[in-house]
Structure 1
Amino acid sequence: MNFLPSLDQLNHWCVTHQLRLRFLGVAQHSPRLINAGFLPLDDTVRALSKVIQTTLKVDEWHALIDIESGELTREMYYRVVRYSEMLALRQQGKMPTGLAATVLPFSQKTNSVLLQKRSASSHLFPGFLSLLGGGFNPGCDKPTHAHLSGGDVNELGDNNNPILTAQREVLEEAGLHLEIPDSTLVTISQETDNGALQINYLGVPADFTGAHADEEEGLLVHMPVPSLEQVAGLEQFTDLAKANLAAWLMSRSMAPDF
C-alpha cells in the first residue's frame, strides 16, 4: 500500500530544488482518458507543421490534455494532433500539453530501481537518466480524411488506457512484461518549460533479470534505491526522474513501521 504525499509537499520539493516541473495530481488509481476529437488549428500552424513534417522520420498522433477539464486524477479530456503540429504550436510560443506515460520499476529482491540512460542521439535530454516511458497513442482510423473533415477520432491505439502505454513502452525499451497493480502510486506531472504532461506509475514491482535495452532508445541502469536527500543532489538526471523518485520516496517514508 502507498501513502500519498500531498501536492503541496511535492511541489514545494520541486520549487526548493529548482526543478522545471510541477505536480497536478497524486492518487492510487489510473485516470480515465476521454477523446474529444481533433484539435482545431489555424492555417499558420498547419503550414508550419507541413514544413516540420519534412524533417521527421515519423509523424505520429499525440494527445493534448485539457488540464482545466476537471479532476485530472479521475479523467482527462484530450484532443488529437500530429507530432509536427505539436512542434509547430511550440514554435509559435504555445505550450501544448502532450501526454506521455512513464514507469519507475522497482525490484524488491535487489532493492533497486530501473532507469533509462537516453542515447547520445536522443532529441530529448541526450545522455540523461530518466524514467522509462513514452507518448500515449490515441490511434486514428483513416486519419487524413478524418483530420481534414474535422471528424471524430476512433478509440484505437492505446484504447484510452495510459496503463497500456506504460506497459508497451517498458516492453519496447526494456523487454519487460509489467503488471501495474491497482495500488500503484500514480502522479500527474507537467514540465513547466514546454507544457508536456506525464502520468507516472511509481514503484511498479518488477524482476529485472531479463531486462535488455533497445539501444536506439538508450541503455538501462539499475540504481540502488537512494535516499530523498541523495535525490536532490543527483546529476545528469531529468527533472521528471528526480521529482518522481522524490515522490515515491516520500510515499515510502510515510508508511508506518510495522
Structure 2
Amino acid sequence: MTAADANAARIAVQIQPQHSDYAEIRRLCARLEEMGVDVLFNWDHFYPLAGDADGMHFECWTMLAAWAEATERVEIGALVTCNSYRNPNLLADMARTVDHISEGRLILGIGSGWFERDYVEYGYDFQTAGRRLDDLDRDLPILRARWEQLNPRPTRDIPILIGGGGEKKTLRIVAEHATIWHGFGDAEAIARKHAVLDEWCARIGRDPAEIVRSAGVAPTPGRMPEQVDSYADNAQALYAVGTRLFTVGISGGEHDDLDKVTQLLAWRDEVNAT
C-alpha cells in the first residue's frame, strides 16, 4: 500500500435491511455503485432496529451472497456480523464462499452482538457483554484457521472489520485480529479510541498503521441535517484524527433521498485530489 492509498478517504453506505422490499434494496445497491460508493454494508439482525419493531426485515448473509452477484466493483460486508449466531467454522466457510462469488470483494465485519431480541427470539444464549466478547476473542482464531484449511482458500486475505469501542477488551481484540476498526462518536471521542488502540498495538508488537480506522458519519452537532456541508464537515473532522473509511446509513423510506451520500462522495473526491 502506498502512502497515497493509506491516506485515501473511502465512503461506505450501510443499507439497513428493514422496512423495504428486497427488490428496492437491490435497486439501491445498483444505484449506489453507479454513484461511486466504495463499500456497501448491511447488518446482521433478525428484526428492525427502528420504526415498526415487527416490520419487514431480511437476513444478512443470504443477502450478501445476492449482492456479490448483483454488483461488480464495490466491496460488500456486514456492519457487523454477530459472532453469537454462527459456528466460527461455518462463518469462515460462508465468508470464503461470498469472497469467491464476489471475486474478492468481501469485508468480514464482525462484533460480539448486543440486540437482545435477536437472541431471545432465535434461541441464542444472550449471556453478558463480557462473555460475548470472550466468545469473539475465542472464535476469531478458529475462523482464521479454517480459512487456511478450506479448498479452495479465499481469493485474498479477507479483511476483518471489528466494530465496538470497549477499551479493555474490544480494542485489544482489534489489535490482535482486525484489518479495520469501526467506531462511533465525534472526532474527539474517536481520537481517544485511536490512541487506546495504538497502545494495544504497541503492547502486542503490531504496527498500528496496519489497521484502517473507520467511523460512522453523522451531521455536525449544532447544524441541521439538510445543510449541504453538515456531513462533509463531520467527515473532515474525523479524517483529521485518522479515520479513512466513512459510513452513512440508509434506511427504509430514505432510498430516494441520497443527498448525504452525494455530499460525502463530493467531499471524498476533493480530499483525495489534494
Instruction: Report the TM-score range of the alignment, normalised by the length of the smaller protein.
Output: under 0.3
Richer in helix (by share): 2
Richer in strand (by share): 1
Normalised TM-score (structure 2) = 0.25
